[in-house]
Amino acid sequence: MAKDWNELTRITQGKPIIIERIRLVDSDIAIEGSFSLPPLANLSTDDQVFVMAFMRCDGSIKDMEKMFGISYPTVKNRISRIARQLEFVEIVSISSEEEVIGELERGDITAEEAIRRLSK
C-alpha cells in the first residue's frame, strides 16, 4: 500500500532526496534509476498545501486572505518566499527562420517546403 506524500515529506524533513525506484501502480513494471523530485514536491508540506489552495482560489489573494485568515501582505510575502524556492524555466523564443531550419534538419519538411516558407 502506498504511503501518503505527507509521510515522505515528514521523513525527509526538507532534505534533498533522489528517487531510485518507481513502480507503475496498475502493473508489475518497475523503473530503476536516479530521479529527482519536481520542484513543487521539494516544498514543505505547509507550502505545498498553500500552493494547492492558491490554485484552488484561481490565484486570488483576496480569497487566500479569507481561507487562511491572514492579511494581503502576509499572503503576498508567502507567495514570494515560495516562488524564490522554485527554479523557473526560461523560455527562449526562436525566429520563424530558425524554426524552419530546425524542421528541415530533423527531416520534418522537404527542402522545397523550407525554401517556400523562408521566401515568404
pLDDT, tens digit, for every residue of 89-110?
Answer: 666 777 888 888 989 999 999 9
Indicate the pTM of the whole model. 0.60
* CB-based contacts of 75, cutoff 8 Å, min separation 6: 61, 64, 65, 68
pLDDT band at 82 (very low <50, low <70, confident <90, very high): very high
Cα 91 from chain centre: 14
Helix (H, G, I), strand (E, B) or coil at 33: strand
Cα 58 from chain centre: 17
Q: 5-85 — its CATH code?
A: 1.10.10
Give the single-character DSSP code of 14. T
Overall average pLDDT of the 70-92 stretch: 88
Q: What residue segments make up the domains of the chain, in order of their start?
A: 5-85, 91-120
